[in-house]
Amino acid sequence: MTHVLSAVAWPYANGPRHIGHVAGFGVPSDVFSRYMRMAGHDVLMVSGTDEHGTPILVQAEQEGLSPQGLADRYNRVITEDLQGLGLSYDLFTRTTTANHHSVVQEMFRTVHKNGYMVAQKGMGAISPSTGRTLPDRYVEGTCPICGFDGARGDQCDNCGNQLDAIELKNPHSRINGETPVFVETEHFYLDLPAVADALGSWLQTRADTGRWRPNVLNFSKNLLEDMKPRAMTRDIDWGIPVPLAGWEENPAKRLYVWFDAVIGYLSASVEWARRSGDDDAWRAWWTDPSAESYYFMGKDNITFHSQIWPAELLAYDGRGAKGGSPGTFGNLNLPTEVVASEFLTMEGKQFSSSRGVVIHVRDVLARYQPDALRYFISAAGPETNDSDFTWQEFATRATSELVAGWGNLVNRTASLIAKNVGEIPAAGELTDADRTLLATTRGGFGVVGDLIEHHRQRAGLGEAMRVVGEVNKYLTDQEPWKIKNSDPDRMRTVLHVTAQAVSDCRTLLSPYLPHSAQKVHEAFGGTGTVSPLPELREVTDLDDGRPYPILTGDYRRGETLPAWGSAPIVPGTPVAAPTPIFTKLDVAAVVEEELARLAQ
């Protein structure tokens, strides 16, 4: 058993999240975490809402709320949506907790003490209409290196080079289009050049594993070519105070939202431990060198997870050119793997809430089954290439694959057993066809499990559905309904073998389809939980008493979660006539209705 940290990107709390977001960070991390738990690993899956920074201020003004009020609103919306999607967080929290502030300030103080956080003056982008600092990512213009029109003030997604906003040609604000004013201001900069060699050595160890996705590894290596100090504070009054004398009292200086957001993986782990009753429990995932950590996000966040966050960890531990020693947290583990997905578009267009090209998670969940969305993301999502969500493909896959393939197998098997036996029948002597099918379903566990573990989830789902197809073929070929009277013993054996195969397929698919996995279990007379779902729990802040919702759950293998493998079914278990597991969609009607809704 290995301690595995599943570190999931923090959704920003300035509005509800759309399906492109959860395609990048949500479903892939959950499929991985559910499988790893079933395979026997001790998984800690953490995240929360990211609630600091200028975009929160901008949105709060538009909605007539305080920044905290806006964060409270969308923290709850996002938490409810992720619960509805079935994401099995051990803790989904937020960055406005006192615990998070404390952990972030400890990280800053130690990085500063070790000499890697240096005060220096630079040019900052200011909105002339509001006087506020514009975040790097809210300044766009033409890349001075490759000429790409649409580069951001922190990097160019076209050529991958890091930038400063002042370097952009024809810079403008993404908020209102105005040209920013650049003024001199003093900030703390993370001395990236001082940890460049350590970062390069670490990335080489990751390359040597052969596990990282090539696009992520190559992008990360390219970042090493132009390492320069990066500002980690901002001229803003909404965020975490800089914990140093002369700075902490300044109401207009706060830590950069991206500095504090990535530290959320650690602070959420600390909060989880504190809520568990063992304040040091988090250390098993963070300070034990044998523990593994996997970070899930969209490709636009690779820089912060393969450069900025590892640099912060190295600086905190004193493993850069300036030396130093770790603070109270001790030596902290660097990421085992950065698992970045590509982008999901919608009907051929980039998601854009402002332009109405968007569908929010909660809208999909209000009209369709959560496993239908999870299935689409797993089967056709942006795993290694950009992919496009269309209502035609979504409805077609839900109907022709989920309903006609897996759902039909479950329903007709349970119906045959309920009608002809009334309970799981015992098996008689097995034929070669029986043994071949059972060998196929048992063999699926090694193949599908290996693919999920190596973040090839699309191929894993494809293999699981191939096994489903083999079971469907077996049942069709054996025709047990024709031998009820002529050979009832053989009929019972065929139904037993099919029920065992369906049970195996249910387990194979449960990381992908947790809601329906529980329904399939119950359709065959099963009791108890085999596919645990997250619980939304109302809590109070551990340090200041403010209320907020969290996601958590009981995902213990052997108690609420089966082991990854074939488990013998129990003859004699009563089976009643089933109800359909999945809802069949009228594809043409869905497409017409949803495209009309999108047009409006």
Which of 6, 7, 22 lies closest to 381, judged by CA? Answer: 22
Task: Report the C-alpha gap between 193 and 191 in whole angstroms.
Answer: 6
Task: For tokens 């305080």, name the residue.
Answer: 66
Is pLDDT above 90 for 281? yes
> Is the Cβ–Cβ distance between 268 and 46 less than 8 Å?
yes
Assign 546 a pLDDT band (cuts: 50, 70, 90): very high
Helix (H) or strand (E) run with residue 540 in it: strand 535-540
Which of 103, 107, 175, 111 lies closest to 139, judged by CA? Answer: 175
How far the first Cα of the chain sits from its last, in Å, is 52
Which of 107, 70, 54 lies closest to 242, judged by CA? Answer: 107
Average pLDDT over residues 344-366: 88
Is pLDDT above 80 for 353? no
Beta-bridge partners for 561:
557
Is pLDDT above 80 for 356? no
Assign 243 a pLDDT band (cuts: 50, 70, 90): very high
The token pair that represents 9 in the structure block: 């990107």
Average pLDDT over residues 591-597: 95
> Is the Cβ–Cβ distance between 172 and 179 less than 8 Å?
yes
Is pLDDT above 90 for 142? yes
Least confident window among 67-81, 146-160, 173-187: 146-160
389-412 pLDDT per residue, tens: 999 999 999 999 999 999 999 999
- Higher per-residue pLDDT: 7 or 154: 7
CA dihedral 425, 430, 435, 436 (to 10 degrees): -100
457-484 pLDDT per residue, tens: 999 999 999 999 999 999 999 999 999 9
Is pLDDT above 90 for 289? yes
90-141 pLDDT per residue, tens: 999 999 999 999 999 999 999 999 999 999 998 889 899 988 778 777 899 9
Is pLDDT above 90 for 536? yes
Rounded to two decimals, the pTM is: 0.94
* pLDDT, position 134: 83
Assign 352 a pLDDT band (cuts: 50, 70, 90): confident
Which of 567, 574, 576 lies closest to 38, judged by CA? Answer: 567
Q: How much of the chain exceeds pLDDT 90, in percent? A: 88
Contacts of residue 89, defined as CB under 8 A and 6 or more positions apart, other chains included, come to 8, 45, 46, 47, 82, 534, 551, 552, 553
* pLDDT, position 334: 98
Helix (H) or strand (E) run with residue 394 in it: helix 391-397
Is pLDDT above 80 for 182? yes
Is pLDDT above 80 for 160? no
Assign 274 a pLDDT band (cuts: 50, 70, 90): very high
Task: Report the C-alpha gap between 323 and 325 in whole angstroms.
Answer: 7
Averaged confidence pLDDT in the chain: 95
